[in-house]
Chains A and B, each alone.
Chain A
Amino acid sequence: SQTIHQWPATLVQPVGSPLSLECTVEGTSNPNLYWYRQAAGRGLQLLFYSVGIGQISSEVPQNLSASRPQDRQFILSSKKLLLSDSGFYLCAWSGPKLVGQQGYQETQYFGPGTRLLVL
């Protein structure tokens, strides 16, 4: 069966420090991968998604970046954290779209999340 892991579970970082959050998926190949941020009172916001190695789409301009060095690995990074980067970060995966498939709406499966506090 498929599983998704995130680490660390919690992280406290000073303003201006770098960030690296990791997400890995097991039991599936060529998944679509997503990074979301869950901020208090603001729901879930899609930050990045990836349909393949090295393919990253950014949804909102921000201080963060994402990379996908391997098929089942998705990394969220920052060179210098801001106070506003604090939040709960969720990674998710969904199955890949099949060639020739018309439309595509697949269930997304979420990781346990990383709680980031920037001080």
Chain B
Amino acid sequence: AQRVTQPEKLLSVFKGAPVELKCNYSYSGSPELFWYVQYSRQRLQLLLRHISRESIKGFTADLNKGETSFHLKKPFAQEEDSAMYYCALSTPSVSGSRLTFGEGTQLTVNP
């Protein structure tokens, strides 16, 4: 069965410092991975997906199949990056996608 692990429940960095939120997955098929973010008092929303290979709000994430990881990185954290971040694995099915989420990492960027 598929599984997503985010080893850090809390992560605190200072503004301008690099940040990396770790995500590891377990899945026998070809993975499709996402990062979702939930800012304070806002809805859970998609941040980025690995297939797009894009940078959103300065964040990037590279799929490493050898290490089964999809870590989220940003070279210079900003205070507005403080939020709850969820890594998610999408597994295709006959009828639709199903997301398996990690437990989330609460990122705090201090001034």
Chain A residues in contact with chain B, CB under 8 A? 32, 34, 36, 41-46, 49, 51, 90, 94, 96-97, 103-113
B104 contacts across to A, CB distance below 8 A: 43-44
> Across the A-B interface, how many residue pairs have beta carbons closer than 8 Å?
63
What's the nearest-Cβ distance from chain A to residue B101, in Å? 4
A105 with B92: CB separation less than 8 A: yes
Chain B residue numbers with a CB within 8 Å of A108 are 46, 97, 99
Let me know if B43 is at the binding interface, CB within 8 A: yes
Question: Are A44 and B101 in contact (CB-based, < 8 A)?
Answer: yes
Q: Is the CB of A90 within 8 A of B44?
A: yes
Check A49–B9 contact: CB distance below 8 A: no
With A44-B86, A105-B32 as given contacts, are A112 and B97 in contact (CB-CB < 8 Å)? no
Contact A110 B90 (CB under 8 A): no
Residue of B nearest to A52 (CB): B95
Q: Roughly how many angstroms separate A44 CA and B88 CA in the complex, as a whole number?
A: 10
A15–B45 alpha-carbon span in the complex (Å)? 32
B86 lies within 8 A of A49 (CB): no
- Asked whether A49 and B44 contact (CB < 8 A) given A43-B86, A44-B86, the answer is no
Q: Could you jot down 8 A-B contacts, CB within 8 Å?
A: A32-B97, A90-B44, A94-B96, A103-B92, A105-B51, A107-B34, A107-B49, A109-B45
